[in-house]
Chains A and B, each alone.
Chain A
Amino acid sequence: MDNNNNQLPNMQNNDSPIFVSANSQTIIEADQIPDKNEKWSFSIKKISEYLLLLLALVVIGALIFGLDVLGMIGMALFFVYGFCLVVIQMFKPILKAYYAKNYASAALITLVMGAALWVFGWMLYIGYMIVTLMLGFWEINS
């Protein structure tokens, strides 16, 4: 946002405030004002997504050439790394609400996301148990 003095906030009946520039007569909606850190966070997001893609390609490459064990280790790493990325991304709305001093909303989102993570964690744990049991049965049968 440009902190020029000739920009006057003009609150209308819309949801988002509108800023009218006195010099250029351009109307900018508050949603469209670029965040200072947007470019930086965008590039970090892109890099982490490319890393995830790279990891996926390594896993697939290993599987194509019959290196199943390496593929499975890569798959586990991919899952952990991807899950961490998703969790970090999920915290973004909480931080947004916190910086906007909307503490009630931040607390509510934290509560909902905490509950979602708790459920997901249990799902992962149960999934892990099932896979371990399956592998155990295979060992017994073979």
Chain B
Amino acid sequence: MWGEIGFISAAVIFALVAFLSLNLKVSDKRFSVLSYGLAHIFASFSFLLWGLVLYGVGSLSLRNAVIIGDTMLIIGSVLMATSTFQKGIRNKILLGTSVLGLLFLIIRYIAIKPEPYIENYILIFNSQLIISIALVLIFALAWFRTNIVLGTIIIKNNKELRDTWTAWYFVNLLSFIGFCGFIIGKKPQTVALSFVALVTSYMILGFFIYYSQKVSNNGQ
């Protein structure tokens, strides 16, 4: 029950962040709003899939659901990683990160298979040590870094928002911890609390994006 509600609400919040960010006007040419928004849509799909599988929709096994969800998260991460580069370099970065992502997924399919299980209605990913480290690095380099870059761009463009930098930084770090705890936590309590932290921080990030859009619209 709790798992399904959590995943479905996460899917809705990520979709909302995607929608808000797609409407964001960023003057910096290095930042691609489209890639940023699409990355969140892919993450939203993976949460939706896990929620539906937990609810018992379809005949997809838990392991296959985790593999498909991981694939969507990797696609989202590749898009996220490429969203902070200029057009010329972006294609090269896209190629490089796609190859790395594919390599990670091949290793995940063949060599180190996921062994998820459900405990107290909570999906435990039970990731192996090497996979945990790889996922933490992916989230740090793709998601956390991009959000920090976006925050810097937004605050640079709106002087009114200068004092919100610490809040933005804190919320992004919280989402980083939340993601890591949710993916690599072994106890249901850790996974549930981390997931709540991830969802809450993305809710606040969505509010920040909406608010910055309002401020920049008022400034024009």
Using a CB-CB cutoff of 8 Å, which residues 31-75 of chain A contact chain B?
A: 31, 45, 49, 52-53, 56, 59-60, 63-66, 68, 71-72, 75
Minimum CB–CB distance from B195 to chain A (whole Å) comes to 11
Whether the pair B184, A49 counts as a contact (CB closer than 8 A) is: no
Whether the pair B120, A141 counts as a contact (CB closer than 8 A) is: yes
Q: Which residues of A contact B193 (CB under 8 A)?
A: 72, 75, 131
Q: Which residues of A contact B53 (CB under 8 A)?
A: none
At the interface, yes or no: B109 with Cβ under 8 Å from chain A? no
Interface size of A by CB at 8 A reads: 33
Using a CB-CB cutoff of 8 Å, which residues 91-115 of chain A contact chain B?
A: 92-93
- Contacts A75-B177, A82-B170 given; indicate if A89 touches B163 (C-beta within 8 A): yes
Q: Which residues of A contact B170 (CB under 8 A)?
A: 52, 82-83, 85-86
How many CB-defined contacts (below 8 Å) exist between A and B? Answer: 86
Whether the pair A78, B166 counts as a contact (CB closer than 8 A) is: no
Among A63, A79, A92, point to the contact of B185 (Cβ < 8 A). A63
Interface size of B by CB at 8 A reads: 33
Q: Which residues of B contact A71 (CB under 8 A)?
A: 181, 185, 190
At the interface, yes or no: B57 with Cβ under 8 Å from chain A? no
At the interface, yes or no: B68 with Cβ under 8 Å from chain A? no
Q: Which residues of A contact B173 (CB under 8 A)?
A: 52-53, 56, 78, 82
Expressed in whole angstroms, the Cα–Cα distance for A68 and B124 within the complex equals 13
Q: Which residues of A contact B120 (CB under 8 A)?
A: 138, 141-142
At the interface, yes or no: B133 with Cβ under 8 Å from chain A? yes
Whether the pair A63, B190 counts as a contact (CB closer than 8 A) is: yes
- B1 nearest CB neighbor, chain A only: A137
Whether the pair A93, B163 counts as a contact (CB closer than 8 A) is: yes
At the interface, yes or no: A135 with Cβ under 8 Å from chain B? yes
Q: Which residues of A contact B177 (CB under 8 A)?
A: 56, 59-60, 75, 78
Q: Which residues of B contact A68 (CB under 8 A)?
A: 185-187, 189-190
Minimum CB–CB distance from A63 to chain B (whole Å) comes to 5
Expressed in whole angstroms, the Cα–Cα distance for A83 and B170 within the complex equals 8
Q: Which residues of A contact B169 (CB under 8 A)?
A: 49, 52
Whether the pair B166, A64 counts as a contact (CB closer than 8 A) is: no
Interface of A is mostly: helix
Expressed in whole angstroms, the Cα–Cα distance for A92 and B162 within the complex equals 11
Among B129, B167, B189, B200, point to the contact of A64 (Cβ < 8 A). B129
Using a CB-CB cutoff of 8 Å, which residues 164-220 of chain B contact chain A?
A: 164-167, 169-170, 173-174, 176-177, 180-181, 184-190, 192-194, 196-197, 200
Minimum CB–CB distance from B21 to chain A (whole Å) comes to 22
Q: Which residues of B contact A79 (CB under 8 A)?
A: 174, 197
Whether the pair B189, A86 counts as a contact (CB closer than 8 A) is: no
1/0 per residue B132-173: CB within 8 Å of A?
110010000000000000000000000100011111011001
Whether the pair A75, B167 counts as a contact (CB closer than 8 A) is: no
24 contacting pairs across A/B (C-beta < 8 A)? A31-B159, A45-B166, A49-B166, A49-B169, A60-B177, A64-B136, A64-B180, A71-B185, A72-B189, A72-B190, A75-B181, A75-B194, A82-B170, A83-B170, A85-B166, A86-B167, A86-B170, A90-B163, A92-B163, A131-B193, A134-B2, A135-B189, A138-B189, A141-B120
3 smallest beta-carbon distances between A and B, as pairs: A89-B166, A82-B170, A68-B190
